[in-house]
Chains A and B, each alone.
Chain A
């Protein structure tokens, strides 16, 4: 059973461009979570989605960030008009139910030049 997959693993963008980060949950998992880890800082929750629905987006910045988890395909975290402060590692996790343990992907490291 393949684990959580994220791509790309590394992404470089210039200021003002858009970044799209993809996450494929473990097989059978319909709950997806996104976390961000800024350099030298801890992991912070961003958003929790369950197929086609955003359940909790309390950790998402109010502007430029959005997330979706369509009926078919991976979950997407989208960052518009990136700034240098968006440089971070973005981790996706999935779980079978919302109260089960979460399994994390390897992360996408975003660098904004």
Chain B
């Protein structure tokens, strides 16, 4: 699986959009981009994933560049409860191994 690069930490004001970038310049054509987050010491929480089209669900939006070398997770109206470590992971389609490879992630702090 390809490696990803994320900023170590970011701040965001409550109520504003949080835009979390991720670089995955070595991503291959059969790899999805997944986002998870871990709030404090809880179990990681699935957020969203995509292949090449932009995706949106009730939690967030995922914008993937046309060349697929980078992506941005957008939390449209961040709340204090969105403070967490956010992980960007690339993972092959039909990955027989199944495993997720977590990097260090971005520690997002949402401030009042």
Contact = CB atoms under 8 A, between A and B. Distances in A.
Interface of A: 4, 31, 33, 35, 42-45, 48, 55-56, 58-59, 89, 91, 93, 95, 98-99, 101-107, 109
Interface of B: 34, 38, 41-46, 49, 87, 93-105
Nearest to B45: A104
B55 to A, nearest CB: 12
Contacts of A98: 94-98
B49 A56 contact: no
A99 B94 contact: yes
Contacts, number: 66
B49 A101 contact: yes
Given A42-B103, A42-B105, A89-B41, A103 B98 contact: no
Given A55-B97, A55-B98, A56-B97, A102 B46 contact: yes
A99 B95 contact: yes
Nearest to A45: B99
Contacts of B94: 98-99
